[in-house]
Structure 1
Amino acid sequence: AGGRTYELKQIHFHAPSEHQIGGKSFPLEAHFVHAATDGQLAVVAVLYETGEENSDLKKLWRQMPAKVGQEEGMAAQVRAEKLLPENRDYYRLSGSLTTPPCTEGVLWLILKNQGAVSEEQARQFSELMSGSNNRPVQPLNARAVLQ
């Protein structure tokens, strides 16, 4: 994007979603955080709607630490691309990170199509986080959303 090459640095999740499409919220959202060599950040956001159990999320959830802040090594690898829907059309906007320090100037690519997550999988994640871990949906203000 923008003539830069980005490298995936981390994947994390929020429940419920921090973004909406057409005013609709989703039970789970994944953020694929990328950085370019010049420090520019880009986040690919995937929204998950309630549906069938997600086998790739299941692999991650089995390895999820029992407590917030606890670190666990990954015994089984999950390919990041398996967590994305097949159709990868996206909305593009400039925004900020949704967790402190809430850095501005972040390129956001929010996928238009959703992945699936079972009610049980969304519940498991929320229980681990002791409830919601999302930033409330923010107003667009002067940001342009490109399609």
Structure 2
Amino acid sequence: MKSKVKLALTVIAALAATASAGAADTRPHWEYQGKAGAAHWGELAPDFAACGRGKAQSPIDIRAPRAGAASPIGFAYRASSADIVNNGHTVQVDLADGGDIDVAGTTYRLVQFHFHTPSEEAVNGRRYPLVAHLVHRSDAGELAVVAVLFKRGRDNAALGPVFAGMPATAGEKRAATAEFDAAALLPERRGYYGYTGSLTTPPCSEGVRWHILKEPVEVSSAQLAAFRKLYRMNARPVQPLNGRVVEVTQ
């Protein structure tokens, strides 16, 4: 029980640290490359130790997933007011009341979603141009992430208002001009790869439930270029699976 409480407090603190660009961030500076890059995160602070020593880290390269008893995701998203934040590492959309998901009888409230390019997770060695990570939190403080993969194609209407309002400066926040319904980001088919991993940014806390939707949606080259103008690359390298099982649902 103590370990679960400690995990809940850790992930809540990590989520809060990136929830608002206006709040002071006293954590050590980190980035994706160079001396403070992903290869060195575990050395930057004691609280970041899991980034270097953890055995259940994310992201992963998904290969040979096992058909198992993973539960379908019950999506219950709704339109919500939103703030679009440039937090210095990505563009993040904070939702006031964006609805929730249900997985195996546990309800997780949608808190925010953000983007990585290329996709952090790989499927059979392939990384997609972009991924959105939808971050959810249960009443017990447990985190569940739904990942939506993007492939090049047509303009994505759901991303239009978000990418049109992306703040160019780290630390800047803008209110979205209209309510946003995260259901618009989802593919038609909701089968997913599921496993237990970690946050993909420091402090890399473990115990996060991951759900990578199998069916990608489209993003245009122009939209991808607009995001990459702010963040050319913000993806952590894939991490060892270390015996974990990845289950797949249809």
TM-score by length of 2: 0.57
Give the superposition deviation at 1:68.
Answer: 2.5
1:60-100, CA deviations, whole angstroms, 9 ceiling, x for partnerless residues?
10111122221111112221010011101001100001011
1:67 paired to 2:169 = yes
1:28 paired to 2:130 = yes
1:22-49, CA deviations, whole angstroms, 9 ceiling, x for partnerless residues?
2111110000000000011000001100
Q: State the distance in 1 between where 2:128 and 2:180 align.
A: 22
Q: State the distance in 1 between where 2:170 and 2:213 align.
A: 27
Q: Which amino acid aligns with 2:170?
A: V
1:142 paired to 2:243 = yes
Q: For structure 1, which runs of at least 5 residues remain unmatched after alignment?
A: none
Q: State the distance in 2 between where 1:77 and 1:128 align.
A: 24
Q: State the distance in 1 between where 2:201 and 2:114 align.
A: 11
Out of 111, 117, 120, which is 1:9 matched to? 111
Q: State the distance in 1 between where 2:234 and 2:144 align.
A: 21
Describe the SS at the equivalent of 1:98.
coil
Question: How does 1:95-110 map onto structure 2 within 5 Å?
Answer: 95-110=197-212
Kept in 2: contact 1:68–1:128 (CA 8 A): no
For the pair shown, which has the larger CA radius of gyration, 1 or 2? 2
Q: CA RMSD in A?
A: 1.0
Q: Which consecutive segments of 4 or more residues in structure 1 shift more than 2 A?
A: none
Fraction of identical pairs, as percent: 49
1:100-120, CA deviations, whole angstroms, 9 ceiling, x for partnerless residues?
121100000000000100111
Q: For structure 2, which runs of at least 5 residues remain unmatched after alignment?
A: 1-102
Q: Which amino acid aligns with 1:4?
A: T
Q: State the distance in 2 between where 1:78 and 1:37 align.
A: 23
Q: State the distance in 1 between where 2:171 and 2:234 align.
A: 13
- Comparing both structures, which one devotes a greater share of its residues to helix? 2
The alignment covers a number of residue pairs equal to 146
Out of 152, 166, 183, which is 1:81 matched to? 183
Describe the SS at the equivalent of 1:125.
helix
**Counterpart in 2 of 1:43?**
145
Question: How does 1:99-138 map onto structure 2 within 5 Å?
Answer: 99-129=201-231, 131-138=232-239
Describe the SS at the equivalent of 1:16.
coil
Deviates more, 1:76-85 or 1:38-47: 76-85
Give the superposition deviation at 1:12.
Answer: 0.5
